[in-house]
Amino acid sequence: MRERWDAIVIGAGIGGLTAAAHLVHAGLRVLVLERSPHIGGTAYVYRRKGFAFPMGPLGFSHPVLVQNTLRALGVEKDLKFSRVHYRLRAFGFDMPLSLPFSELIKELSKSFPADAAGIEHFFRDIRRHLFKQGSGSNWSGFGQKPKLSASEYLQHLIKDWRLRRILGSIGTREPYSGLPILAAMWNLMSNEGIWFPEGGMDSFCEGIATAVVGKNERSGEIRLNQGVAKIRTDRRKVLGVILKDGTELDSSSVISNADYKTTFLHLIDPNSIPPEWYEAVSCARQTGSVFQVCLGVDAGKADLSVFKEASKLIYRKEGQKVSEIKDLDWKVQEIDPEALAGQELEVSLWGKDWEAISSDGRAALVIRAEAEYKHFARYRLGWRQRSPNYLEYKTRLARALIQEIDHLMPDLEKSILVMDVATPLTFEDQGGRSEGAVAG
């Protein structure tokens, strides 16, 4: 007789585990299926020679909501969260980013006195938009043009091109979003904050899992190394799932924690989806991906004082003029390593706020740069299979980033004990994200 469950959850990432925990808490019989050998999805960590490195996110927002959710689900372990602080090291400036608006206005005005009035105006508009958003109004809060882009808005408000980039991207890039999204980003950076669980993301994931696999007879079950091939449907009605090994499981409710493209383009029979919906999902844009270099270093040999006030640095090579800052052409056969090193980089002392430097004097660093999936797709031969020159190419790119960051941390290269390099292909295969997207 085939197994039947009240609900089946595909993927044991944070979203899948939380959904399963809620259903178990409601008294349902729930099965979580995960193709990887670990829970947590991309929120988990992986290890290389004694070092722990991130598979995905370097933090999250709304810690009170997270903590209240865990308590409501009966998670016994009282997790603590530390705020992640960001600092900008670019354009000749060294300034904090994760400050309350009032303090941030003062810091920015010191560096850009000619634009002090514009800075005040910008954050006043941000506050007004957030207030209106909270009240349920659809008023934009940014003047009379609700569809005005961040770039257009700042062009008329701010004189200094460097400040336009800082305000418009919370970094060094040309403003790329709409104003409502920009307001939400600044709210997270300055007011809500980005947070990290003390003990690491793996302990955080394990805490949620305890709410799924309880101690009573109506508890849920998590099965690792159990990939789902298809979601079974009949006339748009869910019947269950088919595993990679052909096993069929029955359930009238299926929750997919895979990203939307994987769910609707690969896990569900196209004939079960309205053509216009299938087309919409196919053409929808994915969030971008990254090129990531993880380093295990001997903290006694590298100067890590740059992280004294913040664990995350938004960094760009010094001495660049606006005419010299150009986006990479990812359509070329190979990216110039030096050009990649000249892009905006996020440099993190992994876990600074809880155990950045171990008792034996070792630390983990993470360097990230934006990258396009299609550029690396030519090296993909299959799941976790790459062409012979892939390793050499990504290593060259990684070495260029390390050499650039050596300006921030003298003797960094000499201190490296372990290096691991990930491309969008890695995030696609390891995290199950379509085209290696950083957000599902």
Three-state secondary structure call for residue 12 = coil
Is there a contact between 33 and 10 (Cβ–Cβ < 8 Å)?
A: yes
Is residue 359, in this structure, part of any structural domain at all?
Answer: yes
The answer, yes or no, to whether residue 144 has pLDDT greater than 50, is no
Instruction: Give the length of the chain.
Output: 440
Is residue 116, in this structure, part of any structural domain at all?
Answer: yes
Query: In this predicted model, what pLDDT tens digit does every residue of 50-66 receive, in sequence order?
Result: 888 888 888 888 888 88
Three-state secondary structure call for residue 3 = coil
Based on the fold, state whether residues 323 and 411 are members of the same structural domain: yes
Of 137, 171, 192, the residue that ends a domain is 192
Based on the fold, state whether residues 420 and 373 are members of the same structural domain: yes
Query: In this predicted model, what pLDDT tens digit does every residue of 226-277 receive, in sequence order?
Result: 999 999 999 779 999 999 999 999 999 999 999 889 999 999 998 888 899 9
Amino acid at residue number 202 = D
Rounded CA separation 164/171 (Å): 10
- Backbone φ, ψ for residue 344 (5° rounding): -65, 130
- Backbone φ, ψ for residue 306 (5° rounding): -60, -20
Residue 364's domain is classified under what CATH number?
A: 3.90.660
Query: In this predicted model, what pLDDT tens digit does every residue of 103-122 receive, in sequence order?
Result: 999 999 999 999 999 999 99
Residue 221's domain is classified under what CATH number?
A: 3.50.50.60
Three-state secondary structure call for residue 347 = strand
- pLDDT mean over 324-349: 93
Is there a contact between 58 and 42 (Cβ–Cβ < 8 Å)?
A: no
Is residue 92, in this structure, part of any structural domain at all?
Answer: no
Is there a contact between 370 and 345 (Cβ–Cβ < 8 Å)?
A: no
Based on the fold, state whether residues 19 and 119 are members of the same structural domain: no
Where does the pLDDT of residue 41 fall: very low under 50, low under 70, confident under 90, or very high at 90 and above? Answer: confident
Q: Give the model's pLDDT for residue 323.
A: 65
First to last CA, the chain: 36
Based on the fold, state whether residues 271 and 252 are members of the same structural domain: yes
- pLDDT mean over 316-336: 86
Rounded CA separation 401/421 (Å): 11
Q: By percentage, how much of the chain surpasses pLDDT 90? A: 65
Is residue 339, in this structure, part of any structural domain at all?
Answer: yes
The answer, yes or no, to whether residue 137 has pLDDT greater than 50, is no
Q: Which two tokens stand for residue 320?
A: 């660049």
Based on the fold, state whether residues 18 and 160 are members of the same structural domain: no
Rounded CA separation 140/147 (Å): 8
Based on the fold, state whether residues 69 and 114 are members of the same structural domain: no
Where does the pLDDT of residue 138 fall: very low under 50, low under 70, confident under 90, or very high at 90 and above? Answer: very low
Q: What is the DSSP letter of 9?
A: E
Amino acid at residue number 423 = T
Q: Give the model's pLDDT for residue 423.
A: 97
Where does the pLDDT of residue 357 fall: very low under 50, low under 70, confident under 90, or very high at 90 and above? Answer: low
Task: Report, in this order, helix, strand and coil percent for the chain, each rounded to 5.
Answer: 40, 25, 35
Is residue 94, in this structure, part of any structural domain at all?
Answer: no
Tokens 């002392």 found at = 349
Q: What is the DSSP letter of 319?
A: T
Based on the fold, state whether residues 109 and 162 are members of the same structural domain: yes
Least confident of 145-154, 303-312, 400-409: 145-154
Based on the fold, state whether residues 229 and 296 are members of the same structural domain: no
Query: In this predicted model, what pLDDT tens digit does every residue of 63-72 receive, in sequence order?
Result: 888 888 888 8
Where does the pLDDT of residue 358 fall: very low under 50, low under 70, confident under 90, or very high at 90 and above? Answer: low
Rounded CA separation 366/353 (Å): 15
Domain enclosing residue 245, as ranges:
7-83+199-283
Of 156, 177, 192, the residue that ends a domain is 192
Q: Give the model's pLDDT for residue 355.
A: 56
Question: How many domains, the chain?
Answer: 3
The answer, yes or no, to whether residue 77 has pLDDT greater than 50, is yes
Based on the fold, state whether residues 146 and 70 are members of the same structural domain: no
Based on the fold, state whether residues 375 and 404 are members of the same structural domain: yes
Is residue 348, in this structure, part of any structural domain at all?
Answer: yes
Based on the fold, state whether residues 235 and 271 are members of the same structural domain: yes
- Backbone φ, ψ for residue 395 (5° rounding): -70, -40
Q: Give the model's pLDDT for residue 353.
A: 47
Is residue 91, in this structure, part of any structural domain at all?
Answer: no
Q: Which two tokens stand for residue 331?
A: 């359509």
Output b/e per residue, 308-329; b: 16+ Cβ within 10 A.
eebbbbbbbbeeeeeeebeebe
Is residue 93, in this structure, part of any structural domain at all?
Answer: no
Based on the fold, state whether residues 226 and 278 are members of the same structural domain: yes
Rounded CA separation 379/425 (Å): 9
Q: Give the model's pLDDT for residue 125.
A: 94
Of 164, 192, 220, the residue that ends a domain is 192
Is there a contact between 207 and 74 (Cβ–Cβ < 8 Å)?
A: no
Rounded CA separation 71/69 (Å): 5
Is there a contact between 412 and 299 (Cβ–Cβ < 8 Å)?
A: no
